[in-house]
Amino acid sequence: MPRSGLAHRVASVVPYPPQIRLFKSQFGQRLARRRPGWLGSPDFDVTPMVSAIQAHAPGRSFLDVGCMWGVHGRYTFLAEEAGSSRAMGLDVMGPTPECLAEIERRGSTAEFFTGDVTDADVQDKIGLVDVVFCSGVLYHHPSPWDLLLSLRRMTGSVLVLGTQTIPEVPGLPGAAVYWPSLDDEQRRLWQLQPLGAGQQLAISTPYQAESGYGNWFWGMSPSCVRGLLHNAGFEVIEEAALYAFGHQFTCRPFTPAWPEVDEPH
Ligand SMILES: C[S@@+](CC[C@H](N)C(=O)[O-])C[C@H]1O[C@@H](n2cnc3c(N)ncnc32)[C@H](O)[C@@H]1O
């Protein structure tokens, strides 16, 4: 949800770190509940994700990239339920016991692949998919550009990208923060426990190289993500704020000048 004109004016005079503290405070959350649109929703809202799947999956092949941790294939099953012609999930983690139990319970024909989406062999094995859904993965990748190019190679018709973002920095469009290099004090600003987040590796703890994609790497503003999407070959056709620190982009592929990316099919 875009911030209102008044919120925009407030944002342009209040220094940035106090704004972030306000977004996370009880007071800020009360304000957000009372004045929707001021600070973004205080609660993480999955409605736009569910609506996008229900709108785009029927009759089309569907791939949920990063389908497993904490959700156990939930969005892949939702696409199957919505009438996807072929519902697939991909994750570096294999299917969890909860996911396997759900396949059994539903008699599901959803396919779950184990592998890294940036691996060319994995992309070749799965091939081109009508609808690619990728939620909660972009900020966990040290090279968001490589991740988006990988998604672009696999997207036939629509990409739905949900990701953690940072609020826009007034006067600095396209801004991003690289979390692993911050010290303890600097990282504290980005801890989202007051909003109900659990552990955020490289934010609530120091960076852990051995945890790989478990770390939080890039805090990108929506305008930064939009710019990356464009250069990777995605035109944004719809946007929604999931809460003050999360955004969803629905995109169509187009042919960018970047040499490694083919024409959309
Ligand atoms: C924070 S969870 C997000 C889960 C779910 N999509 C959601 O929105 O709640 C990130 C998931 O992406 C997976 N993942 C991270 N990097 C990946 C990659 N390069 N290729 C495939 N899966 C990846 C992780 O294993 C994890 O299951």
Q: So where are the chain's domains? A: 1-42, 47-165+222-253
Which has the higher per-residue pLDDT, 258 or 85?
Answer: 85
- Residue 24: pLDDT band (50, 70, 90) is confident
Ligand 1 midpoint to CA 65 (Å): 7
Average pLDDT value for residue range 25-36: 77
Please tell me the distance from the alpha carbon of residue 172 to that of residue 185, in angstroms, as a whole number.
23
80 pLDDT above the threshold of 80: yes
- Residue 1: pLDDT band (50, 70, 90) is very low
140 pLDDT above the threshold of 70: yes
Average pLDDT value for residue range 51-60: 98
**Ligand 1 atom index nearest CA of 150:** 19
**How many residues are recorded in the chain?**
265
Residue 250's closest CA among 143, 158, 122? 158
Q: In whole angstroms, what separates CA 242 from the centre of its chain?
A: 10
Strand partners, 111: 88
Element (H, E) at 203: none
Per-residue model confidence (pLDDT) at position 4: 55
Any idea which of 7-16, 121-130, 188-197, 214-223 has the lowest mean pLDDT?
Answer: 7-16
CATH classification code of 47-165+222-253? 3.40.50.150
Ligand 1 midpoint to CA 225 (Å): 18
> Is the distance from the beta carbon of residue 79 to the nearest atom of ligand 1 less than 6 Å?
no
> Is the distance from the beta carbon of residue 135 to the nearest atom of ligand 1 less than 6 Å?
yes
131 backbone dihedrals φ, ψ, rounded to 5°:
-120, 120
72 backbone dihedrals φ, ψ, rounded to 5°:
55, 40
Per-residue model confidence (pLDDT) at position 172: 94
Please tell me the distance from the alpha carbon of residue 250 to that of residue 48, in angstroms, as a whole number.
10
Residue 158's closest CA among 265, 67, 253, 51? 253
Average pLDDT value for residue range 218-222: 97
Please tell me the distance from the alpha carbon of residue 162 to that of residue 136, in angstroms, as a whole number.
6
